[in-house]
Amino acid sequence: MLSLFFKCSIGAFAVLTIALLSRSKSFFIAGLVPLFPTFALIAHYIVGSERSPMELRTTALFGLYSIMPYAAYLFAVYYFSIRFNLVTNLLLSTAIWIIFAAVLLVTWVKLHPAV
């Protein structure tokens, strides 16, 4: 239970940091905070402690490929920012992330079948 509380606290701290930075002169730094590997650290610790080193390597490799849906999302936010209102922009950008993530998952499963 303490472990779960700790993980939730990390997420809350990240949200608080983003909110505070978004109000500062350096508001753009708020875009860097989600890229801190908070959840990746948690995932890699869990996988690394419960699975083999090879499976940890596979998880890290998949993480590298997962940058593609995030990059597509960021490009969409950038492109749609002057074409749509904020809510439409974020909804469309999220839909693009979902499409890229689905393509990634389908491709990954075909190229790296589970043993």
Q: Where are the domains of the chain?
A: 53-115
Residue with tokens 């860097």: 32
Torsion 22-25-28-30 (CA) sign: negative
Query: What are the phi and psi torsion angles at 85 (to 5°)?
Result: -70, 170
Which pLDDT does position 115 carry in this prediction? 54
SS3 for 24? coil
Judge contact between 75 and 91, C-beta under 8 A.
Answer: no
Q: What element of type H or E holds 107?
A: helix 86-111
The predicted-structure confidence for 59-97, as pLDDT tens digits, reads as follows 999 999 999 999 999 999 999 999 999 999 999 999 999
